[in-house]
Structure 1
């Protein structure tokens, strides 16, 4: 199951496109016109888009995209779901974990949930219970197999904190490049999990599907180790059966900044500027 470190990274790694390999930096366009979307929301961050057909990258804030690592927050639910399904801890995407009766601020979490529903409302308690049932040893095995996290090219992440919080407490970190690489592999069923389970996770990520496009993603929201609000949205948009992979990573010095709506709003504004949503890409 082991792969060379960096196989999930895209920017400096060789990019496999339609059976050929592209290793040139000439594919990269740094688009500073996208800065306005961050400025108008008083956020710092990065955005990247990979055209799978050509290998072309569009990137805003290349240094942050390539070199800076952050806690994955709820984007880790992609991996947690896959490990849960592969190990049998999650018997299917319709498996219910009963609500524990604790009232939480997110109303949608306060009920019995299936994996599919928990993923789509990003229910932290559901996935904390999944992680506890998986256990540290199995979780570590699969994280090693994926070479997931730490943000260091030659260092495997080791779980050092609680099994049900390590993706939320800033001990686990990954670059936006790594997060983009993960969903690209997921799209093509190239992760070391059964195809059926990868398809189930992809189905949970699909939020919009119409005659013009399909939009699939997972969000994340947490607090960095310097008490900044951090937001993620990572996934793909497909037009004319052609996928484009994206990652948006945003940060505010205000720990109380509500990132719940702004992530998707920014993503759609950026994608619209780049020509999406009309079925012409």
Structure 2
């Protein structure tokens, strides 16, 4: 664990990867090539303590806007500070009709998280407030690889490229979330983990949060971060995908890549 000192407090670093236990598997790059995108995939085998990464340099040294993966942190802070009671809390629809139909209704936190409803979590961020949000980002050391993540506008800072996070930091975040190692109550961890569980069957459990936004050059950048469990054993993953094609269907592409890589690595059959 890496600790950063600043603002007279000890910050909890979210870095996941150490150089002694990393295997670079270049064969995984074919999944990006086949989908006409660029990107990086990393997976941490918690039992063996080993990383498999498609591109070491991109995994540790390239940073991107968090987009809706920030809903993990936004949710944790919102619950911990009491701005929302739990994932049943409803924030009413503001009446503005948006292109994503599921957003145009009153939503509980659980449904807003599952629909990745940006307006709902913008309102949550406003309820948390800039000063409180900044204190929590500092405490977590969130997106701090290249310096302190400073909030500009409270309801867009995770969308407008004013903060950037590395794939390595993203994997460290979900790993600590799984093991109740973030500076929140256990109940808070449990609620957010429950919202992240999307697939649960006899062979595996797949928990994740997606994200999709545009960089400064208006190019698509997308994420899936989370973990897969087989036989009660967790493996933590991060997938980052970029495309210059404005019409690229990033939601389909990122899931195809994730499922393809996991299947190639022997997951989803309950044999791990």
TM-score band by shorter chain is over 0.9
Q: Which of 51, 67, 71 is the equivalent residue of 1:73?
A: 67
Asked if 2 retains the 8 angstrom alpha-carbon contact of 1:68 and 1:151, the reply is no
1:38 Cα deviation (Å)? 0.3
Aligned to 1:16: none
Aligned to 1:108: 102
Aligned to 2:149: 157
Asked if 1:231 corresponds to 2:222, the answer is: yes
Asked if 2 retains the 8 angstrom alpha-carbon contact of 1:38 and 1:45, the reply is yes
Asked if 2 retains the 8 angstrom alpha-carbon contact of 1:3 and 1:145, the reply is no
1:103 Cα deviation (Å)? 1.0
**Partners in 2 of 1:223 and 1:179 — Cα distance?**
18
Query: Unpaired segments of 5 or more residues in structure 1?
Result: 13-23
Equivalent position SS for 1:232: strand
Asked if 1:96 corresponds to 2:80, the answer is: no
Pair 6,84 (structure 1): closer, same or farther in 2 beyond 3 Å: closer
Query: Unpaired segments of 5 or more residues in structure 2?
Result: 5-10
Question: 1:24-70: CA deviations, max 9, x gaps?
Answer: 62x21111111111011110000000000111111001111010111
Query: How many residues in Structure 1 have an aligned counterpart in Structure 2?
Result: 265
**Partners in 2 of 1:64 and 1:115 — Cα distance?**
33
Question: 1:131-150: CA deviations, max 9, x gaps?
Answer: 00110010001001100014
Q: Compute the RMSD of aligned alpha carbons.
A: 1.3
**Partners in 2 of 1:194 and 1:150 — Cα distance?**
23
Aligned to 2:159: 168
For 1:177-256, what aligned pairs fall within 5 Å after superposition? 177-256=168-247
Equivalent position SS for 2:192: helix
1:246 Cα deviation (Å)? 0.2
1:255 Cα deviation (Å)? 3.1
1:260 Cα deviation (Å)? 1.3
Question: 1:175-215: CA deviations, max 9, x gaps?
Answer: 00000000000000110111101100000000001111100
1:85 Cα deviation (Å)? 0.3
Question: 1:58-116: CA deviations, max 9, x gaps?
Answer: 10011110101110000000000000001111111100011111111111111110001
Pair 143,228 (structure 1): closer, same or farther in 2 beyond 3 Å: same
Asked if 1:7 corresponds to 2:1, the answer is: no
1:157 Cα deviation (Å)? 1.4
Length-normalised TM-score, structure 2? 0.95
Asked if 2 retains the 8 angstrom alpha-carbon contact of 1:93 and 1:114, the reply is yes
